[in-house]
Amino acid sequence: MRHRQFPGTDISVSEVGFGLWTISTGWWGEKTDAEAITLLREAYDRHGITFFDAADAYANGRSERQLATAFGAMRDRVVYATKIGYDIYDPAAAAARRGQSELPQRFEPVFMRHAVEQCLRRLDTDYIDVLQLHNVKMAHVRDPLLWDTMRELQREGKIRAWGAAFGPAIGWLYEVVELVEREPDINTIQMIWNILEQHPGTSMIDAAKAHAPNCCFNIRVTHASGMLEGKYTEDTVFPEHDHRRHRPRSWLVNGVRKVRTLDFLATRATLGQAALQWLLAEPRVVTTLPNIYDRDQLAEFAAASDLPRLRPEQMHRIAELAAGNFGVGDEAMAYKGTMQREAAPSPPAQRAAS
């Protein structure tokens, strides 16, 4: 397993990380805590994975408790990333939640500090390696108090690096652009980016290169919700509680057609491994977070780091295919974030005077 450094820090992480949402939330199949912890320990012991990405909102702290159980005795050898921002402490909101609907978000400094203390308690540690604000929106990007609070937590030693995660769906272009413009000392951004879904992620990385010298990226949805694992067909049926079951059939049919154009990648590696190598060709990517939910996937994805990198002609061919949407006609993308530049609202005093 190769490692990369968070720029400007002493945080070194494995090129392939482990996102705990697959083993803690039940959205990718149910796992007992014992099963989850066994998989986490195997990720470190057998495959050299050191970066583990959790969130307080993943099953109301379950992912963080799983990390504490798996690695409490070897805390200094692994890197904990977690996220705050959803009010998991309001019983009424939690009881009213349906499926994967979002909980209310809170980012007042007092709440942020309370959330961090609860994360520390569940993780059974006195510091968080990487803290990200969970699925921030434009109003949060434009509130300097949030980011000043993150810097204060860093100075106090509660966190080592800070950033933001964007989602839950794809989009959020100008949220990221404005964030790196406004807070150029940001350490990291988590976003969706993969061979099939290159926009707007590529533009986000370009913005960081222009404005935030030490901002690196940790990438989720590396395989386009499993599409780039190369195992789906037009007849694939997802289990009842699998979140992919609720996508339109066109997502499955068009995705399978696109993947067939990428057969040339599966010569020296599996398609799933090649998908990770495409991401790792970008120096600003510090680690990747494939969806891992069984031992076979863990072994396959972890091995991607040590395999030969994609050749220049393969990278060029991927770019050509992407320019033509991989042979599929124009698709209407339902971006959730801000995809056109919007002027920031004037402060209240200025608006009153105008």
Query: What pLDDT does 250 receive?
Result: 85
pLDDT band for position 96 (cuts 50, 70, 90): low
Quote the percentage of the chain above a pLDDT of 70.
Answer: 94
Q: pLDDT tens digit string along 44-78?
A: 999 999 999 999 999 999 999 999 999 999 999 99
168: preceding bond cis by omega (within 30 degrees): yes
Query: What pLDDT does 67 receive?
Result: 98
Q: pLDDT tens digit string along 194-204?
A: 999 999 999 99
Q: pLDDT tens digit string along 136-160?
A: 999 999 999 999 999 999 999 999 9
In the chain, domain spans: 3-353
pLDDT band for position 237 (cuts 50, 70, 90): confident
| Sheet with 51-53: strands ordered across | 18-19, 51-53, 79-84, 128-134, 159-165, 188-192, 216-220, 285-289
Mean of the pLDDT values across residues 293-309?
96
290: preceding bond cis by omega (within 30 degrees): no
pTM across the whole model: 0.94
User: Of 21-25, 111-115, 174-178, 241-245, which gets the smallest average pLDDT?
Assistant: 241-245
Q: What region does 226 belong to: left with phi over 0, alpha with psi -120 to 50, or beta?
A: left
Q: How many CA atoms lie within 13 A of 307 on its CB side?
A: 25
pLDDT band for position 352 (cuts 50, 70, 90): very low
Q: How far apart are CA 73 and CA 91, in angstroms?
A: 32
- Indicate the class that CATH gives domain 3-353: alpha beta
Three-state DSSP class for residue 166: coil
Mean of the pLDDT values across residues 193-218?
98
Find out whether 153 and 116 touch, Cβ atoms under 8 Å: yes
How buried is residue 253: exposed, middle or buried, by Cβ count under 10 Å (0-12/13-18/19+)?
middle
How buried is residue 233: exposed, middle or buried, by Cβ count under 10 Å (0-12/13-18/19+)?
exposed
pLDDT band for position 351 (cuts 50, 70, 90): very low
